[in-house]
Amino acid sequence: MPKHQGQKKKLIVLARILQERTDLQTGMTTAELMSALLEYGIGSERKSIYNDIETLRSLGYDIRLQRKGTECRYYLASRLFELAELKILVDAVQSSRFLPADQTSRLIEKLETLCSRRQAHVLQRQVYVANRPKSMNKSIYETIDVLHEAMSGGAQVSFFYMEWTAQKTLRRRRQERYVVSPYALIWQDECYYLLAYDSAAQGLRHYRVDKMEELCRLEETPREGLEEFKKLNLAAYTNTTFGMFGGKTTSVTICFDASLAGVVIDRFGKEVMFLPRSEGKFAVTQDIVVSPQFMGWMAGLGTLAKIEAPVAVANAFAAHCIDLAAMYQSKANGAPT
């Protein structure tokens, strides 16, 4: 039996070939596998391919044989991630505003290595369709790492908080550094937020992670506000904070048309209590951060939803609508703006 070169790495290379070039729809014959190994400078014989495949199977590789007439093709039938799972992960990465475009591309390229080349092409097409605005923060990975380390170590963090200007440039919201006690990272509206305790404000606040700059962990400064954080229901917090904009939390009762049941469940969760009203309508009482984003949500529901209580919130919403109507009415009448 002739001795071929590259036998020590042959098994690893064969496994890579099967991972990259085969899937449920695409297999390779023994001759094709031998030819592919030659691309790596590895010679082989037909019988040795059979033995190597059995070895890989014994190591957990799900390699199967597909017979079509007299032709037999080997393919890798299952992987750590199914194609449908990778599609979900790719879309999540692509839609994440906090990830800069170049880091998004690199992360997706790594995900593509978990499937065959043919399947990777499907993922690339999905990326093209799912194009969305991205963050400009190049240090996002480092920021997230520091936040996790600070939370696990029970330390405070310090950072500058950025905001956009009308000239489309980023500037510091204030010249002083923010010093907060980090407790949780929240995924909301395709963005990453840090939930932290602000000692100066004596309460919990949230911050866009991609708007943090020069973040550092204050190793010698222990966290504060633990009792305040323990009182918080994170699920309720994200449901009642519209667009992650802060404000005063108020118990609000809203009457909805029956057709909005799905909208209400999507917003407040399946456990929310529906209080029956006349004509098949229902009402919900929920703690809500009354912010401009909440007003916008209510306006989007039109006449199918009405704030019942408290009167102050209902009046504030009415004033919000009147102000908007007046602005457009003045333009319609030709009045100067």
Mean pLDDT confidence for 266-288: 88
Q: Which two tokens stand for residue 73?
A: 């093709």
Helix (H, G, I), strand (E, B) or coil at 144: helix
Band the pLDDT of 135: cuts 50, 70, 90: low
Distance CA 40, CA 36 (A): 7
* pLDDT one-digit tens code per residue, 185-200: 888 766 788 999 999 8
- The per-residue DSSP string of 212-236 comes to EEEEEEEEEEE---HHHHHT--HHH
Q: Which two tokens stand for residue 142?
A: 């480092």
Distance CA 92, CA 27 (A): 30
Query: What pLDDT, on a 0 to 100 scale, did the predictor assign at position 1?
Result: 43
Rounded percentage of the chain residues whose pLDDT exceeds 90: 48
Distance CA 316, CA 320 (A): 6
Helix axes 30-38, 46-58, angle to 10 degrees: 90
Q: What's the whole-model pTM score?
A: 0.58
* pLDDT one-digit tens code per residue, 50-62: 999 999 999 999 9
Strands (DSSP E) contained in 7-101 are 63-68, 71-76
Query: What pLDDT, on a 0 to 100 scale, did the predictor assign at position 16?
Result: 95
Band the pLDDT of 262: cuts 50, 70, 90: confident
